[in-house]
Structure 1
Amino acid sequence: MATDRLGDMRLFAEAAALGSLSAAGRKLALSPAAASARLFKLEAALHTRLFDRSTRQLRLTEEGRLYLQHCLIALRAIDEAEAVLQEGKNGVRGKLRISASADFGRHLLNQWLEEFISQHPDLKIALTLSDSMSNLLQDDIDLAIRFGRPQDGSLIARPLAPNWRVLCAAPDYLARHGEPSSPEELAGHQFIVLVTAAGPLNTFHFAQGEQQWSHTVTMEQAWETNDGALARSWALAGHGIARKTIWDAAADIRAGKLKILLPGFSASEAGVHAVFHSSKYMAPRVRLLLDFLIARFAHATEELLSDIAMPGR
């Protein structure tokens, strides 16, 4: 494959990610005219239209979506091959692209990454925070931290730690509204609901022995946000009951800023996983991060969760 074709593919992939050919050109130090000419040349060589230009924003055609999947695989393989050569000569370096949920990423993970980078100063971090699931291939992610196990069989999920979700509220809220003692008593309470790209997470499930319950929050009466960190802030401020992973709530629970509600009704979950591509090759920098996270989660499980009752215990 000719070198200029690789450049054209990289321009195409960047344009698809940014939704703008001119923005992709600027990122790759190309003028708008040069970027347009290179994309036209690529489409001519493929005898295929890759973008629908009838809208103000670039939109991939069906053929463009298919070609993008293969381009990203090819470009990743080339980047990793070059990284191997450089790492073999100069030690571990390059950029780690990581995805995590907003609250966990801003607090615990950010602290841990500072520690990790202090040990490997030649590495750089690109951290994407979102409470919606990332497409690892399309979003160019090396490793994602997920609360739960992904359904995509093409990805590898390495267990890192136990996890469960808890309903929690600030003592101030409970002093004003009372504390529910069963799932049925949640009716009439105020809630803070996380909204993802898949919709609001407003149905809560409970289990106690063989018995199961569910409670669906009416969105008209809820505080809602797409940012888990903001949902936590609202809970701390006493605006309502929030449902958080134990990893996001543990420090506030231990400090008395939040209280777990209905602890005997929590259900077990799949745990925290490191999710990455099912490639046979893993770049050394990604392997270093994975090993670090395995050790860091093990230590944090003992440090943060040892005195908080886990469902089923």
Structure 2
Amino acid sequence: MTLREAVAAYVRDGDTLALEGFTHLIPVAAGHEIIRQRRRDLTVVRMTADIVVDQMLAAGCVKRLVSAFVGNSSAGSLGELRRRVERGEPEPLEFEEYSHYGLVCRYLAGAQRLPFYPLRSYGGSDLPSVNPALRKVTSPYPGPDGGEEQVYVVPPLTPDVTIVHAQRADRHGNVQIWGLTGVQAEAVFAAHRAIVTVEEVVEDDVVRSDPNRTVIPAHAVDAVVPCPRGAHPSFAQGYYDRDNAFYRSWPQTSGDPERLAAWLEEWVHGTEDHTAYAEKLGEERWRALAVGPAPSEPVDYGRRL
């Protein structure tokens, strides 16, 4: 599908939407298309709420945010998010906070259709005081000292739709990722519907030649979207580097509501699709983000004679 077709078919007003990719392969182009289609009242789940969340907030798409880390990836603040959380301007944001591992466990519980997932890391933390979803249960098994033990648990997360970006997939939806990974597979398996945008769609034989890179199998994917440069300003290992200049400029853009609105009008609503956005950035910008070859050692999987 095209990105426009996939968002129109699978993302609905009021949905719980997971956007995952950890520093690397962030599905920014998908976020922009959701803005273009003016989706509303979304609950957005993102372990690391960053620039794409800030943009979707400013565009009026997001009613509620579920996240662990909030920030502009070591390059400053998110102006729109801070205004909504700190001052309730232009309106308050419902914000549900977890640790990174807490959200990983929520995805695992959703993917495995479990009623909850146990973890120890909330012991001694203040997070349970601000998030009533973090609860304790008594273990059915004795603790290390033979006595009764209580552990924290988190509820399952089952998004209406998960969107991730990846390097490549075949037409069936077998998705391959290399380099830095996050919880893409868990988030896809936990969801009712899944869209995967990719740098390129390749022939079946390419995927079959290196099956261990297939992080997400076809049966979990509803739509495959060819979307070159679809992670900008984040990076796609082997395709282009992170646009650090963009990240550094974002606090100035998002710090001023009028400047942010103008940016959205020019760069998102003012571009027909992500191809137009990438072309607007210009080839000089893309040349600066070019990466050189760094092939991995070939592996011989062997076959029957």
TM-score relative to the length of structure 1? 0.21
Q: Which has the larger radius of gyration?
A: 1
TM-score relative to the length of structure 2? 0.22
